[in-house]
Amino acid sequence: MKPVYLSALTLLLAGIVSYATTKAVQPTASSSSTTKITSKKSDESVYDRVIRTGKIRCGYNTEPPMLEIDPNTGKVFGATVDMVERIGSLLSLEIEWTEQVGWSEMTAGLHANRYDLICNGKWVFAPQARGGQFTPALYYTAVHAYGRADEERFDTNLSNLNSPEYTLTSMDGEINFYISHDKFPQTKKLEYPALTSNAELILSVLNKKADATFMAAFVGNDYMDNNPGKIKQLTEQPIWVFDTALMYKTGEAKFGGILDAAIRQLHSAGFINETLDKHNVKKQETLRVGKPYEVTQ
């Protein structure tokens, strides 16, 4: 028979070993449970976040008359604003105008989840497709060249503009940057950062730092209406026509699906064309999306 004190010591040691083993294999609150919660947040899709919060957060930039900011209230207004707000209404989602951002920085903000949607009409061209996906076109944008009102050196197709004798001004990430490099590689370039306004580009032309720039027709014509005798449209036909759509983060097809459905409904109801007309956006500046059907008698 074993002594009583030895049995007690054996039991004590067994208990210590059992406790230590149990603690070693149990997950702690600071390890797997926390990792799981963090993983859930980082893996949340844009669609899931939008549905959970009940709102779409917008990144945007000024683009009169499509999107402007009231200097007194900070509120945004314009044709594109009305379209986006209507999309939110159709989807029962609040639209939050979260952040003003430069054109070339928009995709970075999408991928950093600072906002869910670029709520400007973005021109669909290949370099941007690497960073974002696009909804169906809201409308098509005509792009023209603009120069000083007394400009007489260029013909209407700009065949002689592609020369180091002349300078084009553009904005980083804007379409005038890509047109300048793609169609006029020999021309000297005066380039500005992303948050520069179109007015700054025009001022460079007026001050003879540059000879011409490229702008959406609605931007150029809006400037000419408010500042007569300063600049003129140099091209009779658009130098480029772009699908113009909303942009969201690459790989977010489920979110894109609800946007697509809302935009198709806006087109079917005639809302987009009515909104462009309400804001006096001319049809030769912003080309309307045609109906995909024909009614026969």
94 exposure class (CB count in 10 Å sphere: 0-12, 13-18, 19+): middle
Write down the pLDDT at residue 156: 81
Write down the pLDDT at residue 7: 45
Give the DSSP H/E element, type plus range, for residue 176: helix 175-183
**DSSP structure string for 66-100:** TBEE-TTT--EESHHHHHHHHHHHHTT-EEEEEEE
CATH of domain 141-241: 3.40.190.10
Write down the pLDDT at residue 102: 85
Q: Using CA atoms, how far apart are residues 265 and 212, in angstroms rounded to an integer? A: 39
Write down the pLDDT at residue 250: 93
| Number of separate helices (H) and strands (E) present in the chain | 11, 13
Task: Look up residue 242 and give its amino acid.
Answer: F
- Measure the CA angle with vertex 250, ends 245 and 251; round to 5°: 120
Domain spans in the chain, listed from the N-terminal domain onward: 45-140+244-284, 141-241
User: For the chain, percent helix, then strand, then coil, each to nearest 5?
Assistant: 40, 25, 35
Token pair for 97: 């105008």
Write down the pLDDT at residue 43: 82
Q: pLDDT tens digit string along 64-109?
A: 889 999 999 999 999 999 999 999 999 999 999 999 998 878 999 9
Instruction: Name 168's bridge partners.
Output: 189, 212
Give the DSSP H/E element, type plus range, for residue 50: helix 46-53
Exposure class string for 161-192: b at 16+ Cβ within 10 A, else e: beeeebbbbbbebbbbbbbbeebbeebeebbb
Give just the sign of the alpha carbon dihedral 28, 30, 31, 32: positive
Is the domain defined by 45-140+244-284 classed in CATH 3.30.160.60?
no
| Per-residue pLDDT tens listing for the chain (297 residues) | 444 433 443 444 444 444 444 444 444 443 333 333 333 456 899 999 999 999 999 999 998 889 999 999 999 999 999 999 999 999 999 999 999 998 878 999 999 999 999 999 998 877 677 779 999 999 999 999 999 999 999 988 898 999 999 999 999 877 888 899 999 999 999 999 877 888 899 999 999 999 999 999 988 988 999 999 999 999 989 999 989 999 999 999 999 999 999 999 999 999 999 999 999 988 988 999 988 888 887
Write down the pLDDT at residue 42: 63
